[in-house]
Amino acid sequence: MSLTGKYEMTEPHLHGPLLGLSVHLCLDMQRLLAPDGPWPTPWIESALERQIRLIERRPEATIFTRFIPPKSPEDMPGAWRQYYEKWRHVTRDFINPRLLELLDDLRKYTPPAAVLDKTRYSAFPNSRLQNFLAERHCSTLIVSGAETDVCVLATVINAVDLGYRVVIASDAVCSSSDECHDALMTLYHKRFSQQIEIASTEVILENWPIA
């Protein structure tokens, strides 16, 4: 594990240039996960700097997601109810609604960037994401955001199953667990190398032309 909890890969792993049908999917960069939030991600600001570089390349090709907890645990099915019994203080009965907003540095990009809310780890179930991607004729997802080992993981595996080309910006994802972040980046690279590509923001920008 790297000292900063940030996975380091010796070589970028891109299968080729990123074409105009690529969309940047930036997951759950909210006050909820800020260092002073209820689910703190200590090095979220480092990832944020790289995300902004990706956003500024094509703001109109960026989709932000927001993770929205239920009003109360009783609103959720099955194991989710037990989960929110533990995290009742982040349900909407208790939480300050401002914590659900995007980080301040990102809000200025909406519009033209879109914002989609979700209630599960993955950005695909119970959201309009797939319709948005179809409307944009998207075939490739450039993924950034939080957390590497939770919502990024769930979204990326869904995207693979749906047949999207998936590129993870290695320095633009983050987690509250250094150990789990590094383990997941290793998993993506070693077990899914044909379906999940990993590269730094710099390499992605070099291969993603301005429209």
What is the structure's pLDDT at 21? 87
From first to last of the 211 residues of the chain, give the pLDDT tens digit.
343 455 455 455 788 889 768 999 999 999 999 999 999 998 899 999 999 999 999 999 999 999 999 999 999 999 999 999 999 999 999 999 999 999 999 999 999 999 999 999 999 987 799 999 999 899 999 999 999 999 999 999 999 999 999 999 999 999 999 999 999 999 998 899 899 999 999 999 999 987 6
What is the structure's pLDDT at 1? 36
What is the structure's pLDDT at 201? 96
**For 64-78, b where at least 16 C-beta lie within 10 A, e where not — what string?**
bbbbbbbeebeebee
What is the structure's pLDDT at 12? 57
The structural domains of the chain, ordered by start, are: 22-69+101-206 (3.40.50.850)
The closest of 90, 83, 102 to 44, measured between CA atoms, is: 102
| Side-chain-facing half-sphere of 107: CA atoms under 13 Å | 8
CA atoms of 44 and 46, how far apart (whole Å): 5
What is the structure's pLDDT at 6? 52
- Residue 163 phi/psi, 5° resolution? 90, 10
Is the preceding omega at residue 111 within 30 degrees of 0, hence cis? yes
What is the structure's pLDDT at 204? 96
